[in-house]
Amino acid sequence: MATTVSAKYLGDLRVECTHLQSGAVIVTDAPTDNQGKGQAFSPTDLCATALAACAMTIIGMYGKNHNINVDGMEAAATKVMASNPRRIQRIEVVITMPDREYSEKEKVSLERAAHSCPVHASLHQDMEQAIVFKWAR
């Protein structure tokens, strides 16, 4: 099994992560409510981001395979932290679909696709996950 990501601790609660296949780099920073400067994504921000991006990717795959145009969909992810132990308690992803005509069957199928994303299935069952859709029509 090949390594996916390499990471280097830069000091001052910052970590540089490199995606080995593409060379893409992201830096994380601890959040301001946990000793950090909040100058970059925190690791828990990336978890919420991963849920949103994964759901959108699976929706995109479903749309591509069923000739449903989902280009332009947008998402907003919100995470709520718990303490003792410090962990993500809830992630809410609001997906706003483009202003197009979608049949009721397409809407149900696209929502089902979002809930079948691998990140959704991988997160701990004690963490609440809400994926909400906003349809223009």
Same domain as 30, residue 47: no
Same domain as 53, residue 117: yes
Domain count, the chain: 2
Determine the structural domain holding residue 113 and report its residue range: 43-134
Same domain as 64, residue 16: no
Tens of pLDDT, residues 65-113 = 999 999 999 999 999 999 999 999 999 999 999 999 999 999 999 999 9
Exposed/middle/buried for 40, CB within 10 Å: 0-12, 13-18, 19+? middle
Task: Write down the pLDDT at residue 63.
Answer: 98
The CATH number of the domain holding residue 96 is 3.30.300.20
What is the rounded CA–CA span in Å between residue 39 and residue 42?
9
Same domain as 75, residue 112: yes
Same domain as 51, residue 18: no
